[in-house]
Chain A
């Protein structure tokens, strides 16, 4: 036996004296295999099969044939993706720049920025789509009533609609990413350039922008993946145009041929391949580059630009964009109180419909399942973060990779994977088939979808904590369970609460992954919105959406309040 093996063997012996650790890792491996890896594997297996043959390329051949419409959808998705990520990155950069570099006269703009970046968090899907349809659709307030375009012929549906909706939906993502980066640029770099005689514009183009370039690429790819994965908006505002996600959905739910399901699986494989390769480039190439160009924290406060020729135009542009976005949400809320789209009399009618009719049958399950999924997600993601940051063990890299991978998998694909994977049991053998058609399968999808966000927040919180704090508890006789519950968890309680609420909010507003899993007896609010909006009944759809926004905001508000109370408690202790 070689020498280094003794150290490894002893590490292993120590490891096996910690039952909690073994159990946690064992559990995670099973969970990840069953609910993240397996649904993707089954897609690959089914993609290479038909109803009669166990292995064939026919499904893929169909996918790439003209009949399937998938190639066209793919082209659409790519065009939309490029336009959306370019647009969202530019708008996001503008907002981030104004937020970190420009001296703003009033606090109003900052508040608007906060609202704009907060709204997508609590917003159910479709809201912006519905709102834009109300404004720019065939009978929209602007196109029809204001501009008197009477023969619109669905002009807004398709590319213009999807692209504008997705830019509005995803630019806050780019904004938050870039804001973090801009804050980390050391102001003395720019001051040095100014000092050597560069104009402000020159500084931006020669210093700030190049430093930011990897970050911009990062934001571009992240929004591209989101756009390609987006299901809800193209569904509503796409008109007759299909993107990859909607094409897969229609293939699965709409086609009746014996091979439809296998063809949907093959299509899913293609979309998955695209999303995952971009995700891997983003994660392992660009993210590292970003860190290497932006080292550490800014050494001191930046001198904000107070030049009026810069501040006034930028404030006006950003202010107008923010107001427009906020206006879209207000319109949705107002719409839910109008009698109909021509008669603006106040009414509770639509809410009465919701609560008397089958509304309760949707709200009940949505809230129950989300409330069950949230604590599971929060505790799981904290455990995963703990294992990733603080522990050494075999398979750690795999757990880390898979938990982040779930972020790259488009919801639609996960949905298809769960259907194909569990409708006839594991590998169509009937094992675990009982899971299908229960609320548990939806809860698991909720958990899988929110897990990466929780893990990321837990990991960054844990990295702040000195390793020796846990070592000391360990040294005093605590096993991993003691240390995790009495030291780690209390120290990252902020992160725990935020993933609890984030998971809850994401679950009540989720659609793409679960729309194929709902059954008549198990309805979700978002699916109801989809149904009503699809029928053109925007009043009922907006009423549903308004209630969801209200619940989500309430959850976030409670979280902020709770965190502030915790924060105050520790502050008092500090004094």
Chain B
């Protein structure tokens, strides 16, 4: 498509909602700043209620931010209604027009733009080719499978050649298998068109598979922004580490630090770490992925097996290390030594597989919601 690619810039965006029961106002999204590069595929990931859909709807124009500005390219779009924004959304429920057939659904946006008939036909058919629905243009939408409906929704959004494509949990209504193939499909089409895409999901595997960049949100604020690898191996905080994949935390303290190495102490054992931040003397948590851990007969970090289960692809262990249960997944266990319950073991891992995050006290962690109480209160947050 000949159209110029545009990025999206969010500057200190906040959205305030009122709790319908207590009438208290709170931030659904708080002080969110994002710079989405032209042509990139960005995912907003987080548990339900984290503000990801609200953020997407603010970019689409369905909600208005209570603080901050949104730019599309270099143009501020805060005051534009959805129909005048250069964005197109693919909805969770597909939102196909049930009284139109596939062709008319895809053509809807073009008809509103009053394009000549011939051009509409050409564009719609080209788009149906792209989403592999050619030949189904006369079907009514309720005669299509979920995956096909999803393709129509995608085609309908793409055909108006928006600068930015917005996805609101588009795959959540599909079954597991179809979800996997559709997300590959969405990625393929996004790459083929070269469009900027912002994608909302609560499914971490989906986010990992599809995105150039993931924005993890929790309770209205950004928990971390990074590539899938960064987010998986170098989480910035406990929430991110815990939300993405399985994880073990071990409490420790930084005892030495130089340019490339950090030395921590856990249960009296010195463990070198490559990544993570902190100063000497800080309490930290070591992040260890279960698949990075192995068992050996003897070593520094000792423990006792409490669970040992054969899972097919791997042997699952739970090992009690002091007062912490550590999960270990030993892949391809055939031919390896299998430990049994009550066996004394030691943990085996390389220092590149350990990452540290600051230890948060629990009060601070749960208080991501910023309640807005009085009108005076707003001013405190204004820059």
Contacts and interface: CB of A to CB of B under 8 A. Distances in A.
Interface of A: 2-11, 13-15, 17-18, 466, 468-469, 471-479, 482, 486-487, 490-491, 570, 573-575
A190 to B, nearest CB: 32
Contact of A475 (B88, B96, B382): B88
A3 B143 CA distance: 47
Nearest to B109: A476
Interface of B: 14-16, 25, 60-67, 78-84, 87-89, 91-93, 95-99, 108-109, 112-113, 140, 142-143, 153, 156-157, 160, 372, 375, 378-379, 381-382
The 9 closest A-B pairs by CB, nearest first: A10-B64, A476-B109, A14-B81, A472-B95, A7-B66, A13-B79, A468-B95, A573-B140, A3-B378
B112 A482 contact: yes
Specify the main secondary structure of chain A where it touches its partner: helix
Nearest to B78: A10
Given A490-B99, A574-B142, 18 more contacts: A2-B375, A6-B64, A7-B15, A17-B80, A18-B81, A466-B95, A469-B95, A471-B91, A472-B97, A475-B60, A475-B61, A476-B109, A477-B84, A486-B97, A486-B108, A491-B98, A491-B99, A573-B143
Nearest to B84: A17
Contact of A487 (B60, B97, B160): B97
B91 A468 contact: yes
20 contacts: A2-B379, A3-B378, A3-B381, A4-B16, A4-B378, A5-B66, A6-B67, A466-B95, A468-B93, A472-B97, A472-B153, A475-B82, A475-B157, A477-B84, A477-B112, A478-B83, A479-B83, A573-B140, A574-B142, A574-B143
Contacts of B25: 4
B221 to A, nearest CB: 16
B82 A10 contact: no
B163 to A, nearest CB: 13
A475 B83 contact: yes
Nearest to B382: A3
Specify the main secondary structure of chain B where it touches its partner: mixed
A6 B64 CA distance: 8
B112 to A, nearest CB: 5
A478 B112 contact: yes
A14 B81 CA distance: 5
Nearest to B63: A7
Contact of B113 (A9, A474, A477): A477
A17 B112 contact: no
A479 B80 CA distance: 12
A15 B64 CA distance: 11
A469 B64 CA distance: 20
Contacts of B95: 466, 468-469, 471-472
Nearest to A11: B64
B143 A477 contact: no
Given A7-B16, A475-B87, A14 B143 contact: no
Contacts of A468: 91-93, 95
A390 to B, nearest CB: 12
Contacts of B157: 475-476
Nearest to B168: A468
A569 to B, nearest CB: 10
Contacts of A570: 99
A5 B99 CA distance: 39
A382 to B, nearest CB: 15
Contacts of A11: 64
A475 B165 CA distance: 11
Nearest to A17: B81
Contacts of B375: 2
B64 A7 contact: yes
B88 A476 contact: yes
Contacts of B62: 471, 475
A226 B25 CA distance: 43
A386 to B, nearest CB: 16
Contacts of B379: 2
A469 B97 contact: yes
A107 to B, nearest CB: 32
B84 A475 contact: no
Contact of B79 (A10, A18, A479): A10
A393 to B, nearest CB: 13
Nearest to A2: B378
A574 B381 contact: no
Contact of A10 (B65, B97, B142): B65
Contacts of B93: 466, 468
A486 B97 CA distance: 9
B369 to A, nearest CB: 16
A473 B95 CA distance: 9
Given A17-B84, A477-B109, A479-B83, A472 B89 contact: yes
Given A3-B381, A13-B79, A491-B98, A473 B64 contact: no
A13 B382 CA distance: 22
A472 B60 CA distance: 10
Contacts of B140: 573-574
A466 B92 CA distance: 11
| Residue among A11, A13, A14 having the largest count of chain B Cβ atoms under 10 Å | A14
A400 B64 CA distance: 24
Contact of B64 (A14, A18, A479, A490): A14
